[in-house]
Amino acid sequence: MDKRISEAELEVMEALWSAGRQLTAIEVADKIPTKRDWSLPTVKTMLSRLVTKGAVDHERDGRRFLYSAAIQRDAYVGGESRRLVDRLFGGRLSPLVARLAEEDALDADDIADIEKLLQGLKK
């Protein structure tokens, strides 16, 4: 992928990822949360930008285009997570977890999941 995905473009990517199949621009627009209140031309612009960035593939189907994600969600999330930790926490994960704990952003389930992950890493 050539460039970063904006927050708005991420909405389009989420629509494609959740579908798991090719979608028309109209189908993508239907999957965008209504709070965005985007017109079809806005969605088409976002799709065009994502195609240019290499995040979305498209193919002609008669008079319309079918769009699909060119990158996997897991790969994208992994890359963005790494960039966040590198940029804000000097590449160390523990300050991020400490910050979330200080802000009471971790519930008992989160803590149990983190403990389980750490135990798995120790083996």
Return the HEC string of 48-59.
HHHHHHCCEEEE
Q: What is the pLDDT of residues 39-84, one digit of tens each?
A: 999 999 999 999 999 999 999 999 999 999 999 999 999 999 999 9
**Which spans in the chain are helix H?**
7-19, 25-31, 40-53, 73-89, 94-102, 108-122
Of residues 92, 10, 87, the one with CA closest to residue 46:
10
Spatial distance between the Cα atoms of 43 and 122, rounded to a whole number of angstroms: 46
pLDDT at position 2 over 80: no
Domains and CATH numbers, the chain: 7-69 (1.10.10.10), 93-123 (no CATH)
For the chain, what is the radius of gyration of the CA atoms? Answer: 18
Whole-prediction pTM: 0.82
